[in-house]
Copies of this chain bind each other. A is one copy, B any other.
Amino acid sequence: MTPGPIRLSEGAHTALRPATTARITGGFWAARRRTNAEVSIAQGPRRLEEAGNLDNLRVAAGAKRPGFTGDFPFQDSDVHKWLEAASWQLAEEIEGTAGAAGAAEGAHGAHGAHGGELAVQVRRLTELVAAAQDPDGYLQTYYQVRPGAQRWTELHWGHELYCAGHLIQAAVAHHRATRGTELLRVAVRFADHIDATFGPGKPVDTVCGHPEIETALVELYRETGERRYLDLAAYFVDRRGQGTLGDGAEDREADRRPGAPYWQDHTPVRDATEVTGHAVRQLYLLAGAADLAAETGEDRLREALVRLWEDMAATKTYLTGGVGSRHDLEAFGDAYELPPDRAYAETCAAIASIQFCWRMALLTGEARYSDLIERTLYNGFLSGVSLDGDRWLYVNPLHLREGRTGSHGAQGARRTQWFRCACCPPNVMRLLASLPHYMASGDADGLQLHQYASGSYAAGGGAVRVGTGYPWEGRIAVVVDEVPGDGDWTLSLRVPHWADEYGAAVNGEPVAARAEDGWLRLRRRWRPGETVVLDLPPRPRLTRPDPRVDAVRGCVAIERGPLVYCLEQRDQPAGVGLDHLRLDPGTALRDRHRPELLGGVTAITAGALPSRPRPEGWWPYADTGAGAGTGPGTGTPAPAAPVEPVRVTAIPYYAWANREAGAMRVWLPV
């Protein structure tokens, strides 16, 4: 069994179960995962050392003089998340699968062998974490090393259970990957301390301002079989929404208390009708609640989760899959409030969305959740890390105006090597390191392919190999390696909602069956060695927003397959500014793969009309001349003088901000 997240209990109430083997061996994601292993994860310990996170652990262990380094209570969680990422990576190396992906590039020299450099680093950081733990099991250096700091007194801001959750997730990953119990023992001791502390009639009867412990405790239950961890997760889900966290009146500036919705403490999750507040908090909570529903089978909770997911997907998600419309409080906005320039769309929120979606996919078996995962993965998530794996975006806007580079919030325009608040980088690392587990699932009847990456997947009693040039090419070849018994068995292939034309063949024979609700289900008596070819031709297309998405009215976006495209200034003809451009509505989009560009991307060109800047005046609003009812006033400017059409070049959004800085836009006026 390939170690990975969500190892469901035997009796879990889900439609689908995770794959037992999941390996990505080539193609788009293998390359990104290699960079993740060789650059991002490999340099994690150095970054954590430089940022002071490791020193905090040493101080807590008594090995250094008291004093906390860093600006945030959750500094420890960066270490925990790196340990989780490194553990998944280590699992792959222990299994030897990294050899398949990376041997040719000499990856083994650096970290490929069990006992290699990565294992050494994991041991070293595990020892630092273990040494920092208090005798009673408590572990958060922010409250351990600052004179006078009191644990469990600032639940709304303190992130103590949040850090505990990440510690537990790291420990579970480490245990699954190595069977080593060093980190798991630390996590269990902390979890037991929390269990003794939190609950009705116990010393503390409230929740954490930042959800995360919920999903972690369900995983700890799965890993240890201890039912009380599941009960404790249920307590934290149930207790939330009762206003026990207060309103954060400590917030300094202006008249804005974050308030209960910010940390989802205004309404119990089962009663909530919309996603709200801090996007990462909201989605970690929902992921945890979905884990709980998976283990308890509770209908009411599942229905609430479906309702909240629909609210998110239909009204509060960017074209890139990013979520969180507001810089202010890093929060969800109102329905259809999706400004491209001020999109916060934090990288961590994209990751949280993927985690929530995947749990919903398993819970319900519905393809739409994996549809959204695909979109988020290739766009709003992947934009968070540079092509070289060394620089990061925290904020992922869909529009950056000319001359605005570097001033678009503290992040957003320029990639940074590390952040003071470094939640995103190790979060990207852990998702990429565990990515194979989001590709496939199984049930009693067969195997489902949710995403398309070259590799090997076993689930539902069978096993398949996938080969594909996705997302650049739309052909996916599947070889069935094993099937259970000799009865009918179903191989299900997800047909993305963008694929209005597609075709499939089994052993070279075209398939007449069509996808239903996003699944092309091929049910037959399979024999090992048989093949399926699915074609999802990724033609370039123009996409329009719902008219209620006010911020991008009158615009279209270029897409191709699962990829959202954007224009970057430097790819455009001289003198063609992105602030003064209209897409030619009758344009033919042309795509061409360019191996030399941005690590190899398919670029798309389109016809556009550069508009001349209006004469400068001091007021940017003008009378339309309409309103008297005397003519067909249109509210639009008089037609400008004819301009020479030009061809502009679009690149995949995920690859933006990898060259010198400049203007960028996804949504193009027509």
Q: Which residues of A contact B (CB under 8 A)?
A: 71-72, 157, 249, 252-257, 259, 261, 276, 310, 313-315, 317, 319, 326-330, 333-337, 339-342, 368, 371-372, 394, 399, 401, 404, 407-411, 419-421, 497-498, 500, 539-558, 579-580, 583, 585-589, 606, 611, 614, 616-624, 626-637, 669-670
Q: A374 to B104, alpha carbons, bound, how many Å?
A: 71
B401 touching A541 by the CB < 8 A rule? no
Q: Which of B72, B551, B618, B626 contacts A550 (CB 8 A)?
A: B551
Query: Within 8 Å CB of A669, what residues of B?
Result: 547, 550, 553
Query: Within 8 Å CB of A421, what residues of B?
Result: 254-255
Q: In the complex, given contacts A334-B404, A546-B614, what are 16 additional A-B residue pairs having Cβ atoms less than 8 angstroms apart?
A: A254-B394, A255-B410, A255-B420, A256-B410, A333-B342, A334-B408, A371-B619, A399-B550, A544-B636, A546-B621, A548-B579, A555-B635, A585-B635, A588-B630, A589-B629, A635-B670
B543 touching A589 by the CB < 8 A rule? no
Closest 3 CB pairs of A and B: A588-B629, A556-B635, A546-B620
B633 touching A586 by the CB < 8 A rule? yes
Query: Within 8 Å CB of A407, what residues of B?
Result: 261, 276, 334
Query: Within 8 Å CB of A629, what residues of B?
Result: 586-589
Q: A310 to B630, alpha carbons, bound, how many Å?
A: 35
For A255, the closest partner residue in chain B by CB is B421
B623 touching A314 by the CB < 8 A rule? no
For A257, the closest partner residue in chain B by CB is B410
With both chains docked as a complex, state the minimum distance between the C-beta of A50 and any C-beta of chain B, in angstroms.
16
With both chains docked as a complex, state the minimum distance between the C-beta of A64 and any C-beta of chain B, in angstroms.
22
Q: A585 to B633, alpha carbons, bound, how many Å?
A: 6
B547 touching A637 by the CB < 8 A rule? yes
Query: Within 8 Å CB of A552, what residues of B?
Result: 550, 553
A327 touching B330 by the CB < 8 A rule? no
Interface of A is mostly: loop
B336 touching A541 by the CB < 8 A rule? no
Q: A372 to B629, alpha carbons, bound, how many Å?
A: 28
With both chains docked as a complex, state the minimum distance between the C-beta of A354 and any C-beta of chain B, in angstroms.
16
Q: A629 to B631, alpha carbons, bound, how many Å?
A: 33
Query: Within 8 Å CB of A624, what residues of B?
Result: 541-544, 556
For A624, the closest partner residue in chain B by CB is B542
Best-buried of A315, A420, A619 by chain B (most CB within 10 Å): A619
Q: A410 to B257, alpha carbons, bound, how many Å?
A: 7
Q: List 11 A-B contacts (CB under 8 A).
A: A72-B252, A157-B252, A253-B330, A317-B619, A327-B327, A336-B401, A547-B669, A585-B635, A586-B629, A587-B627, A588-B630
With both chains docked as a complex, state the minimum distance between the C-beta of A412 and any C-beta of chain B, in angstroms.
11
With both chains docked as a complex, state the minimum distance between the C-beta of A176 and any C-beta of chain B, in angstroms.
32
B335 touching A401 by the CB < 8 A rule? yes
Query: Within 8 Å CB of A255, what residues of B?
Result: 394, 410-411, 419-421
Q: A394 to B314, alpha carbons, bound, how many Å?
A: 31
B411 touching A544 by the CB < 8 A rule? no
Q: A276 to B409, alpha carbons, bound, how many Å?
A: 12
A314 touching B620 by the CB < 8 A rule? yes
A583 touching B635 by the CB < 8 A rule? yes
Q: A633 to B668, alpha carbons, bound, how many Å?
A: 14
Best-buried of A335, A399, A556, A588 by chain B (most CB within 10 Å): A556
If the complex has contacts A313-B618, A328-B327, A542-B633, are A627 and B589 also in contact, measured as CB distance less than 8 A? Answer: yes
B410 touching A259 by the CB < 8 A rule? yes
Q: A586 to B618, alpha carbons, bound, how many Å?
A: 28
Q: A619 to B399, alpha carbons, bound, how many Å?
A: 21
Q: Which of B557, B579, B618 contacts A368 (CB 8 A)?
A: B618
Q: A261 to B579, alpha carbons, bound, how many Å?
A: 24
If the complex has contacts A71-B249, A547-B637, A635-B555, are A620 and B327 also in contact, measured as CB distance less than 8 A? Answer: no
With both chains docked as a complex, state the minimum distance between the C-beta of A32 and any C-beta of chain B, in angstroms.
24
Q: Which of B337, B342, B617 contacts A337 (CB 8 A)?
A: B342
B550 touching A341 by the CB < 8 A rule? yes
With both chains docked as a complex, state the minimum distance between the C-beta of A559 and any C-beta of chain B, in angstroms.
8
Query: Within 8 Å CB of A621, what residues of B?
Result: 319, 543-546, 557
With both chains docked as a complex, state the minimum distance between the C-beta of A589 and any C-beta of chain B, in angstroms.
4
With both chains docked as a complex, state the minimum distance between the C-beta of A608 and any C-beta of chain B, in angstroms.
12
Q: A410 to B260, alpha carbons, bound, how many Å?
A: 12
Best-buried of A259, A314, A551 by chain B (most CB within 10 Å): A551
Q: Which of B256, B543, B670 contacts A409 (CB 8 A)?
A: B256
Query: Within 8 Å CB of A579, what residues of B?
Result: 336, 548
A315 touching B620 by the CB < 8 A rule? yes
Q: Which of B368, B399, B541, B622 contacts A627 (CB 8 A)?
A: B541
Q: Which of B253, B340, B548, B670 contacts A620 (CB 8 A)?
A: B548
Q: A420 to B254, alpha carbons, bound, how many Å?
A: 8
Query: Within 8 Å CB of A540, what residues of B?
Result: 627
B544 touching A622 by the CB < 8 A rule? yes
